[in-house]
Structure 1
Amino acid sequence: MDKINTFIRTYIDLILYITLMLIKVIIYGSEMRAEYFSYTSLFSPVLASLLFLAAISVILNRKKRIGFLYICNLLITLFIIGDLTYFRYFKDVISIPILISGLQLGAVKSSVASLFKFTDLIYAADFIFILPLVNRYKYKNGLDVRKSLSFSLFLVFFVIGLSINVKAFYSLSKEQPRLLSTMYNKVYIVRKLGILNYHFLDFYNSMYSSINRRIPVSKTKEAEIKTFLQNNSTNTYNLSGAAQGKNLIMIQVEALQDFTINSKINGQEITPNLNKWATRSVYFNNMYYQIAAGGTSDAEFMTNNSLYPAPSGSAYFLYSSNEFNSMPKNFKASGYNTAAFHGYRETFWNRNVIYKQFGFNNYYNENDYNIDDNVGLGLSDKSFFNQSIDKLKSLNSPYYAFLITLSSHFPYDDPSKYGDFNVGAYEGSLLGDYLKAIHYTDVQLGMFLDKLDSEGILKDSVVVLYGDHYAITRNHEKELSQFLNKTSPMSDIEWAKLQKIPMMIHFPDESIKGVNSINAGQMDIYPTICNLFNLPSKNLMGKDLFNSEQKNVVFRDGSFTDGNYYYLSQTDTFYDMSTNKKVEENEDLKNKKENAINQLEYSDAILKHNLLKKFESSSD
């Protein structure tokens, strides 16, 4: 008994470390996706990952071991708090590429502050007592550990950890092939393998990807990608060249979700101007956003390139030196002037660098606007649109002008500036603040569009308007369910079907208008513009919405919908969209699932290996 007590005192730090870390990591796992959480399935891989670190610690001397375990505890705690904060808005977990571009978060302090919860500090509560407790027992009757015992413990911990992890990794790779290499669904990996295994895997894949970028893609894979791009081109006959020679004014509206269109609260229309604009345009009411961790920048990237965003981090940072077959470059080659407009910092999302790569002649940013009125993060949409009119008038026609709004940016925390819009029972809630913010932006859009008309710009311009991404995250689902008169909690498929943005294309004479319900995504905007303006449409991954049959809309996490069925990669489940019922995978759905993953891999290869530069040069 004395030897056991002495052994416990000698390894009290290790015992505490494994116990506390198990508790922390398993509770963290339950917070990530509580509705799918299983203690029994997560316990083994979490324990295995902790045993790897424990194995390292036992070959160190006592002083170094306690320091090593303390640092491990600190790092794991920081990752837990960071992951949870990030997950609350992005519904994803932090990765190395995200950390590389993470300095951008520092510029949006209010957004970060609104996501952090002080209850997260409970994960760090053990730091208050762990050091005094360990110091109290560590050196009392401590066992002088022989090297042979240390090595034996190392082997035991390492072999047990390895055995459990091999089984867990193998099971996941069989369940979702290519998930471990592509990491297209990081939350699912965390759910199945735990936070430590996920971050170990993320580190490995990030290092491998960095090395792999220097290795040329195989000729076979290159030919496969090239064939896909060639076959993906749509035969254009409907509305081909309908806008040729006209200006294109494209407006990306911050956090504009489709559920606000034609909706009312307390008898008031939330977006009265956009509702009217939809009746004067072709209104695509079945368009999904397809962004990943890059948020707004991902939406810009897709609509201007028809390539998928990076699986982690932002393509605006990771691939800023690539060659792109972008929309502004395409317009520029056709004799158009090209300009981007955003009343925020020029360096935010690396826009000052990437816009040059895209082919924009001018980038009007915070330095080019009089910051005379702030709403939310920066220059108000009202002032932005008013000042942008004069800049548009200074452009030589024909031109492509790309405008990005700002005032309706999360966390919608400037209600005093949004005007008097009564949200009733939702006053003070996130949903209520969002409805005020998007109503404010709608008012400014209405005035801007009216001014385009009165200034004579509208008669010579096609206007494309769309939302960039979601506004309401699932942790605020109850408010949204109540507003939409849906049951709460919503099922996964009900929530997925809500993740839509409006897209409207307004033609100068308004002869082309109406509702178009084609299954669509942001990737399809650029190919559609190519058809309308008679631009070359090679090397694009989306489809022309005026000349395509229903096709898959693929999401960055490997989910997809073909309009009839929806595959959710988070749960590896297929749903019938008409009934919201789960369905079994059949051969057709299996092939569509495989095709979705292939498309993501093709796009990733194009970005990682700068293949468009090679494709362009080979076609000259």
Structure 2
Amino acid sequence: MSIDMIKQSRVTHFLIRNLDIILFAAIIFFKLMLYAKQISPEYLYMGVTHPVFASVLILASFSMLFEHKTRMNFLYTINLIIGLVLISDIMYYKYFKDVTTVAALRNIKLLSGVSSSVTSLIDIKDFIYVIDTIILFPFLKRYKNAKRKYNSTAVNKIVFFLLIFVTGISIDAKSVAAIAKEQPTLLSAMSNRIYLTKMIGNLNFHAVDAYNYISTNVKNSKKLSSERVTEIKSYLDDNNQITGSNLRGEAQGKNLIVIQVEALQQFAINKKVDGKEITPNLNKWINKSLYFDNYFYQVAGGNTSDAEFMSNNSLYPAASGAAYYTYSGNQYNSLASQLKNSDYYTAALHGYSEGFWNRNVMYKSESFDNFYGEHSFNVNEEVGLGLSDKSFLDQSIEKLKTFKEPYYSFLVTLSSHFPYDDSQGYGDFNVGQYENSILGNYLKGIHYTDEQLGMFLDKLDQEGITKNSLIVIYGDHFAIPKENINELYSFENVNNPDDLKWFQYQKVPLIIHFPEDENKGVNHTYGGQMDLYPTLANLFNLPRDYMFGKDLLNSNSNKVLFRSGSFTDGNAFYVSWTNTYYNIKTGNIIPETDELKKKKEEYTRELGYSDDMLNHNLIKSFEGDKSK
């Protein structure tokens, strides 16, 4: 036999002997690239093939250390786990437009409360990530029991393990180094998880996330340096300087009624479907209120709870998971606490389970005197996930009438919650061609809630409550999941949508109604939920401390910063997951200028400051220093 034939025979035997590893690597690589395409159909960064391939090599290398049968079990199990992780990631992305993190898993028990929302995201096509494990299962036992001519020695196993492992690590290290050079804080702050996943792949992202989670917990067990604490305190002091006196103290001594409306987005305002207004009651109240038409939701993994958290504390959402869980034991300088210092009675009202989003704990930390949850209401009618908005708002008025004035009442509605599948409860509202679509169902749901809000506001008027109350209404987050966004674009007649266009539809209404319809008009300042507390602090003449937002009535800034790292200054819009800048007026992509780069770096630091505030409970430290 010739040398060439011997070499060919060895190669053939090597391939046959390691067919399971080769098949595993090919399947996992395919799944990871398919996932990358799903989370970025319009922008698949092909450079991701290298770190994805490297991560597969690293996983496969460990199998080289096992005997044949054990190796088969290892590869099969890892394949199944990765498939399930990818399905979870895809479902999480559909709802939150983000990647699942270790910290986010702390919220998994919430899924029992919104099971209909979760199951509506399941698509049979997503099971492509595990279908191979079902197909391969009958062959697993047969392949494991197949007689083998060649068995590797312990030395060979270690050599092959090291060869494959080091190759994978080397490729990965190069990819990670490129990211660290391009955006130095991205790997540690993970402020832009989608973009990071596109650059290094899903497996590497989860490895980095797990490392950061562990190292952050270790790091947070240690005190921040005094220099870092001083740096954060100095930043907050500068940010909270009073810059103007427009409407300063205008609402001082008056009741404050804040209504956070589930999934209320701006695109539904002043719009018609089949010739009928979608939100006729809110439209009416907008005309006699101060209305902010460039107001964005800024929620992250905590979704509805993040909207509450930002609006009441002007702190950014947690980097992962929900602040309402992770930081419920912290001390806060909340809106409720400051109003209590001004002799206000404070109460939160929501017709759902008290423990959902940990509200029963968090509202105490935010200094609400009372929380009226599900058990404080007569659940006599259900629409959507629970107590109907009609019954909730009717019963809430009766409670408001018993509150000692002045009071701050924070109400959270429920009926218009995704997936908007209670067509019977929503009543008869003709959505024409959008019937039986997510958009059409949403329009029915928000039309129902608008009707209940209209009756609630009219009753407040009739009871004379509006004469001595400031009423604030805003939406908490998106209504249409990103996977269904084309339905919204069709409704809005949007052609050739891009990331800028997507962001422009992530606005929610902010309505502030003054007694006697004073100060009505439209304010075009760019803002978000982080800015509500500072704005109300101005209106109620409250101290401004430890806030990252701005007073919308007295600021020259149009900054809106998102947890993902995206931001706008009113002229340009930075989309973090593609690292792209847009000119808002023209819609064109523009190059990064020194000024924009400086803002991006400054805003990344700002997110880090907020994280340190939460991780180290700094408000407690700051307040302690005040008392000395």
TM-score scaled by length of structure 2: 0.97
TM superposition shift of 1:520: 0.7
Measured in 2, the distance between the counterparts of 1:594 and 1:341 equals 39
- Secondary structure (helix, strand or coil) at the match of 1:500 reads coil
Question: Does structure 1 retain, via aligned residues, the 8 Å contact 2:293–2:522?
Answer: yes
Aligned twin of 1:53: 59
Contact 2:537 2:544 in 1 (8 A): yes
Q: Tell me, which stretches of 5 or more residues in structure 1 are unaligned?
A: none
Where 2:257 maps in the other structure, the secondary structure is: strand
Deviates more, 1:293-302 or 1:416-425: 416-425
Partner of 1:129: 135
CA contact (8 A) 1:9 1:137 kept: no
CA–CA distance in 2 between the matches of 1:87 and 1:411?
15
Cα pair 1:317 1:349 within 8 Å, conserved: yes
- For this pair of structures, how many residues does the alignment match? 618
Written as runs of structure 1 = structure 2, the 5 A alignment for 1:606-617 is 606-617=613-624
Q: Pick from 161, 166, 169 the counterpart of residue 162 of structure 1.
A: 169
Is 1:516 aligned to 2:523, yes or no?
A: yes
Could you tell me which residue of structure 2 aligns to residue 527 of structure 1? 534
Q: Deviations over 1:88-113 (max 9, x none)?
A: 11111111111111110121110011
Cα separation, 2, equivalents of 1:14 and 1:490: 42
**Corresponding residue for 2:92?**
86
Trace 1:118-517 onto structure 2 (pairs within 5 A). Answer: 118-138=124-144, 139-233=146-240, 234-487=242-495, 489-517=496-524
Per-residue CA deviation, residues 173-202 of structure 1 (Å, 9 max, x unaligned), is 222221110111111122111111011111
Which residue number corresponds to residue 102 of structure 2?
Answer: 96
1:525-544 per-position Cα deviation (integer Å, ceiling 9, x unaligned): 00011111111111111111
- Are 2:193 and 2:577, in contact at CA under 8 Å, matched by a contact in 1? no
Kindly provide the amino acid, as one letter, of the partner of residue 206 in structure 1: Y
Q: Tell me how far apart the structure 1 counterparts of residues 185 and 542 of structure 2 sit (CA, whole Å).
A: 36
Match 1:538 to one of 517, 521, 545: 545
1:112 corresponds to 2:118: yes
CA contact (8 A) 1:13 1:134 kept: no
Residue aligning to 2:3? none
**SS of the counterpart of 1:509?**
helix
Instruction: Give the secondary-structure state (helix, strand or coil) at the position aligned to 2:427.
Output: coil
301-310 vs 58-67, greater mean Cα deviation:
58-67
Deviations 1:231-271 (A, max 9, x none): 00133411111111100000000001111111111221111
Give the C-alpha shift of residue 6 in structure 1.
3.6
Deviation at 1:478, TM superposition (A): 2.1
Three-state SS of the structure 1 residue aligned to 2:392 is helix
Letter in 2 for 1:469: H
Q: Deviations over 1:294-319 (max 9, x none)?
A: 10000000000000001110000000
TM-score (norm 1): 0.98
Please give the alpha-carbon distance, in whole angstroms, between the structure 2 residues aligned to 1:559 and 1:324. 26
Letter of the structure 2 residue corresponding to residue 350 of structure 1: N
Name the CA distance, whole Å, in 2 between partners of 1:426 and 1:362: 42
Q: Structure 2 CA distance, aligned partners of 1:429 and 1:133? A: 42
Residue 71 of structure 2 is matched in structure 1 by 65
Q: 1:145 to 1:261 in 2, by over 3 A?
A: same
Give the residue type in structure 2 aligned to 1:385: L
Amino acid in the other structure paired with 1:46: V
Opposite residue 70 of structure 2, the aligned amino acid is K
Does the aligned pair in 2 maintain the 1:264–1:270 contact within 8 Å?
A: yes
Distance 2:176 2:60 in 1: 20
Paired AA for residue 181 in structure 2: K
* 1:142 to partner: Cα distance: 3.9
Asked if the contact 2:252–2:540 (Cα under 8 Å) also holds between the matched residues in 1, the reply is yes
Aligned to 2:566: 559
Q: In the alignment, is the contact (CA less than 8 A) between 2:306 and 2:323 conserved in 1?
A: yes
Give the Cα–Cα distance (whole angstroms) in 1 for the partners of residues 564 and 158 of structure 2: 42
Contact 1:42 1:193 in 2 (8 A): yes
Contact 2:196–2:577 (Cα < 8 Å) also in 1: no
Shift of 1:136: 3.0
Contact 1:452–1:458 (Cα < 8 Å) also in 2: yes
CA shift at 1:129, angstroms?
3.3
Name structure 2 gaps, 5 residues minimum: 1-7
| Helix, strand or coil at the partner of 2:201 | helix
Aligned-pair identity in percent equals 50
Deviation (angstroms), 1:151? 1.1
- Checking the alignment, whether the CA contact within 8 Å between 1:12 and 1:134 is kept in structure 2 is no
Report SS of the residue matched to 1:464: strand
Tell me, what secondary structure is at the counterpart of 2:408?
A: strand
Determine whether 1:75 maps to 2:98.
no
Shift of 1:2: 4.7
1:5 Cα deviation (Å)? 4.1
